[in-house]
């Protein structure tokens, strides 16, 4: 019964999206090569700590709830800063509920996501 509240999230998404877009259009420091084990832990953590609920299980993003996070998303420092202290609607994640090591795994996971496939033409 809270469609309106869903819509309130959208405002946040656009701002986050703008930040992400800006990040994508500037040269990004190459992320350290993540170990496969870190990516796998991140995949599981992405669902466990609820990221997937708004950003999708593949971090692909949703127009209504959360932007795409990877690949080629924010640099790690900006990513971590936003997770700890989101500017808009996203729930804040303290280190108590998301330790730094797990946060790094999440980052490894979202950076490892495949690029966009080509969807069918949109006549």
State yes or no: residue 42 binds other proteins (CB under 8 A).
Answer: no
Q: Which stretch binds other proteins (CB under 8 A): 32-40, 43-51, 72-80, 102-110?
A: 43-51
The correct pick among 22, 63, 81, 101 for binding other proteins (CB under 8 A) is 63
The residue whose two tokens read 């700590």 is 49
Out of 23, 52, 75, 78, the residue judged to bind other proteins by CB under 8 A: 52
DSSP 30: P
- Rounded distance, CA 10 to CA 50, Å? 18
Residue from the set 46, 79, 82, 93 that interacts with other proteins by CB under 8 A: 93
Select 10 or 32, whichever has its Cβ closest to other proteins: 10
Question: Which residues, 6 or more positions from 3, have their beta carbon under 8 angstroms from its beta carbon?
Answer: none
Residue 74 makes CB contacts below 8 A (sequence gap 6+) with 19, 20, 23, 82
Q: Would you count residue 73 as binding other proteins (CB under 8 A)?
A: no
| Of 63, 82, 48, residue with least CA distance to 6 | 63
Give the residues lining the site for other proteins (CB under 8 A): 1-12, 14-15, 48-50, 52-54, 56-58, 60-66, 68, 86-89, 91-94, 96-97, 113-120, 122-123
């Amino acid at each position: 019964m809270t469609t309106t509240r869903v819509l309130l999230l959208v405002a946040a998404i656009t701002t986050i999206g703008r930040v992400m877009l800006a990040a994508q259009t500037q040269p990004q420091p190459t992320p350290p090569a993540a170990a496969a084990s870190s990516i796998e832990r991140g995949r599981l953590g992405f669902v466990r700590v609820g990221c997937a609920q708004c950003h999708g299980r593949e971090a692909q993003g949703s127009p209504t709830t959360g932007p795409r996070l990877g690949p080629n998303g924010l640099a790690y420092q900006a990513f971590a800063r936003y997770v700890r202290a989101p500017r808009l609607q996203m729930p804040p994640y303290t280190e108590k509920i998301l330790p730094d090591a797990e946060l790094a795994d999440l980052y490894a996971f979202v950076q490892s996501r495949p690029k966009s496939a080509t969807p069918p033409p949109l006549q």
